[in-house]
Structure 1
Amino acid sequence: MSLNQDRIRLFEADLQRVFEITEMLFEDESHLHAGHAGAASGGGHFKLTLISPEFQGLNTVARHRAIYAALSSHFPDAIHALSIQALTPNERPSSV
């Protein structure tokens, strides 16, 4: 198991403590950024899709802030960059 797979398990646990999660997909995109100056710090590049009814009534910025707050202990050591798609179950695309 890779370092980033271990990290993802920790990220998921932190998110599950904060949100009622319908679906969650964390993807490690660090390999796409090899050689990038930020990657040299050891933090990974990740993509998160998180579906939760708790996002109802929140705009995109508020949703992202809530996720960043839940993962705050992982920045910048474990997470250098995070791409987020935060949706309610009603906004869920059919391909997630």
Structure 2
Amino acid sequence: MTPTDLPKTTTNGALGAMHLLAEYDAQENQLRRVRLEASSDSRSVILVDTDLRRPGVQRETRHEITPAELIALIRARGAELPGENHARASI
């Protein structure tokens, strides 16, 4: 099978998970973790913030956003990386 014979697919929605932050104390006990994960229906991205600072108590906060909203937010608030700007075609 050649690369031109492979089926082309487009995925709409969120897939997978990404760990963003982990905080530890001096004894290497985890105090907090923050991750992004896809929702079960792949229609949104969920920011999961788990707070383990109090012994015996685990507090989990979840925030949901669609992939399109997240992309728009990053484009509006994020900084473009040096060397990443692409020349625009002149008319």
**TM-score of the superposed pair, with normalisation by structure 1:** 0.28
Tell me which protein shows more strand as a share of its residues: 2
Structure with greater contact order relative to length (CA < 8 Å, sep ≥ 6): 1
The structure whose residues are more often helix, as a share, is: 1
TM score, norm. by length of structure 2:
0.29
Greater C-alpha radius of gyration:
2
